[in-house]
Chains A and B, each alone.
Chain A
Amino acid sequence: MSLTSNRKDSVAVVGVGTTKWGAMPEHDATSLGIWALREAAEDAGIRLQDIDGLICQRLTDYQKFVQVTNITPKLVTATPGAGRMTGGTIQLAVQAILSGLLDTVAVVYGNDGRSAGAKYGGKGDSYGTGADQMWFPYGMTSPGAVHSMLFQRHAHLYHSTIEQLGTVSLTFRQHATLNPEAVMRKPITMDDYLASRFICEPLRLLDYCLINDGGVALILTAGDRAKDLKQKPVYVRGIAQQSRLAQGELPEDFGYAAMQRASKTVHEMAEVGRDDVDALMIYDNFTPIVLFALEGFGYAPRGEGGAFVQSGALALGGRYPTNTNGGHLSESYMQGWNLQAEAVRQLRGGLGARQVPGAETVQYLQGGPLCTSIIYGTEAA
């Protein structure tokens, strides 16, 4: 037996589990992850004991996790609780299966941010290097403020408008009205958007994601095994990441160069181009990053992400329906994980009014600073 003797040639998501979203003070993050994993195992038609790899994100108590689930993985690990880590966490699972190290991997996310009062700004915010010395004395803090500044820069260079951001918010809210699980389902108008209060100007409340409690679990296995399981497999056709942390917190180019590298790799792996993609899932912690991601991953020319959004391309019925569950802005901020769940469900079909008809390929885009993309498909690459 060599290090590569068990190599596999494809990986599929065979189980997806989600909790409810909202305020659930009776659960901590670990408990929410366990809930999600139980749902995912039921969905996949496997026993928890069949799981031989466990990768936790954000939920911190992996020991309690394995004790309560009574699983005995060959590999347990945990990644930090930042949304930027989501793509890399899934990459670990994919590579562990491809290499033959593991057969059936659960990637599990649990987040009790709402009940625990998670703050994304102020003391303890580590978004800026040395922020306590160079940012906090000026009152600078929070990922939202960083995106606010980046949008100002984008507007300065490319004449992007607030109404374009509003269109992102309205589009995803419209999708959420079709999703019974979404936290925010009330339709909004541009007037509502423009009347919402500033958090960090020019960004408003409706430019910000929704911090909630919840959990998501995905179960992945090799393609040859996936065929025998309960659900129609959804294949991970390509997955790539390119970080751009080295250039600082406010990147000169909105992360374009890094996104372009990740984009090239993911399409080469997946052997599908943007023309083949039926729907997008875009990491939307704040509205401006949707514009940056569309441009960085080549869906819109540089500087024209806002116009692309205004064309209706991201709406259901448009060319690239995006965040059909409502995304982080209107379903729930699950740090990329609910977008993975939605991608898988779109490819399985049967989502009713929010189903993208005939969806065969869905691409996940995450802008900086760990630019990541995943291409899921109904067929293996």
Chain B
Amino acid sequence: MNTLEYKKPLPPITEQSRPFWQATRERRLQLPRCDHCGTFHTYFEPWCSQCGGEGVHWETLSGRGRIWANCRFHKHYFPGFDGPYNVAMVELEEGPRIMTNIVGTAHGTLDEIPIGMAVQAVFEDVNDTVTLVKFQPVEAPQP
């Protein structure tokens, strides 16, 4: 992929979030997990919002989940998007919910990605350092 052609926003990788982005390069979805109560975090700070503890470790998740909410942007707020595109919040099998795009459907319309649909993580290299985790329906053919 030509880096120069990728115009969508890239994540500003921080010291705290680096393990997340290193794992996606390796085709793994990994999240920080509280050392004390085991809650998975979808933010990159050392403090737990649930138990108040300090300290996290990283764990690899299954990458399986279900669509929890969805929408489809027709207005564009960022460069690099062409035509309508979907955004979904996926509830992972292990509990946490993350924002993503659903790929691997014919048109990307909302009726193709209903809430409750089972999805599986796929990894998309967008440049030499960043790989995004997206999801596709489990019944879809593997790329």
Residues of A within 8 A of B (CB): 119, 121-123, 125, 128-130, 132-142, 145, 148-150, 152-153, 156, 197-203, 246, 248, 250
Interface string of B74-93 (1 = CB under 8 A from A): 11111001001101010000
Nearest neighbor of B73 in chain A, beta-carbon distance = A200
In contact, B11 and A122 (Cβ under 8 angstroms): no
In contact, A123 and B70 (Cβ under 8 angstroms): no
Nearest neighbor of A120 in chain B, beta-carbon distance = B77
B39 at the interface (CB under 8 A from A): no
Interface residues in B91-142 by Cβ distance below 8 A to A read 97-101, 110, 114-116, 126, 130, 132, 134
In contact, B71 and A145 (Cβ under 8 angstroms): yes
For the complex of A and B, the 5 pairs showing the least CB-CB separation, nearest first, are A122-B77, A136-B9, A149-B69, A201-B72, A148-B71
Q: A237–B130 Cα gap in the complex (Å)?
A: 55
A139-B73, A139-B87 known; A156 vs B115 contact (CB < 8 Å)? yes
In contact, A150 and B11 (Cβ under 8 angstroms): no
Given contacts A139-B81, A150-B69, A201-B71, 11 further A-B contacts (CB under 8 A): A123-B9, A130-B43, A133-B13, A137-B8, A137-B10, A137-B132, A139-B76, A141-B78, A153-B115, A156-B116, A199-B75
Taking a contact as CB atoms closer than 8 A, the residue among B12, B101, B134 that contacts A132 in the complex is: B12
Q: A133–B72 Cα gap in the complex (Å)?
A: 20
Q: A125–B9 Cα gap in the complex (Å)?
A: 13
Q: List 5 A-B contacts (CB under 8 A).
A: A134-B42, A136-B78, A138-B87, A152-B71, A201-B110
In contact, A200 and B11 (Cβ under 8 angstroms): no
DSSP majority for the B interface?
loop
Chain B interface size range: 35 or more
Shortest C-beta distance, A287 to chain B (Å), equals 14
Q: A2–B13 Cα gap in the complex (Å)?
A: 53
In contact, A138 and B77 (Cβ under 8 angstroms): no
In contact, A200 and B72 (Cβ under 8 angstroms): yes
B47 at the interface (CB under 8 A from A): no
Q: What residues of A have a CB within 8 angstroms of the CB of B43 in the complex?
A: 129-130, 134
B17 at the interface (CB under 8 A from A): yes
B60 at the interface (CB under 8 A from A): no
Nearest neighbor of B70 in chain A, beta-carbon distance = A152
Nearest neighbor of A142 in chain B, beta-carbon distance = B77
Q: What residues of B have a CB within 8 angstroms of the CB of A246 in the complex?
A: 49
In contact, A200 and B99 (Cβ under 8 angstroms): no
Q: What residues of B have a CB within 8 angstroms of the CB of A203 in the complex?
A: 71
In contact, A122 and B78 (Cβ under 8 angstroms): yes
Q: What residues of A have a CB within 8 angstroms of the CB of B14 in the complex?
A: 133
In contact, B11 and A145 (Cβ under 8 angstroms): no
B68 at the interface (CB under 8 A from A): yes
Shortest C-beta distance, B50 to chain A (Å), equals 10
Q: What residues of A have a CB within 8 angstroms of the CB of B71 in the complex?
A: 145, 148-149, 152, 200-203
Q: What residues of B have a CB within 8 angstroms of the CB of A145 in the complex?
A: 71, 73, 87
Q: A156–B113 Cα gap in the complex (Å)?
A: 12
Q: What residues of A have a CB within 8 angstroms of the CB of B8 in the complex?
A: 137, 139
Shortest C-beta distance, A154 to chain B (Å), equals 10
Q: What residues of B have a CB within 8 angstroms of the CB of A121 in the complex?
A: 75, 77
Q: A197–B14 Cα gap in the complex (Å)?
A: 38
Shortest C-beta distance, A104 to chain B (Å), equals 41
In contact, B70 and A133 (Cβ under 8 angstroms): no
Q: A198–B101 Cα gap in the complex (Å)?
A: 19
Q: What residues of A have a CB within 8 angstroms of the CB of B89 in the complex?
A: 149, 250
Shortest C-beta distance, B11 to chain A (Å), equals 4
Q: What residues of B have a CB within 8 angstroms of the CB of A128 in the complex?
A: 99
A128-B99, A133-B17 known; A139 vs B77 contact (CB < 8 Å)? yes
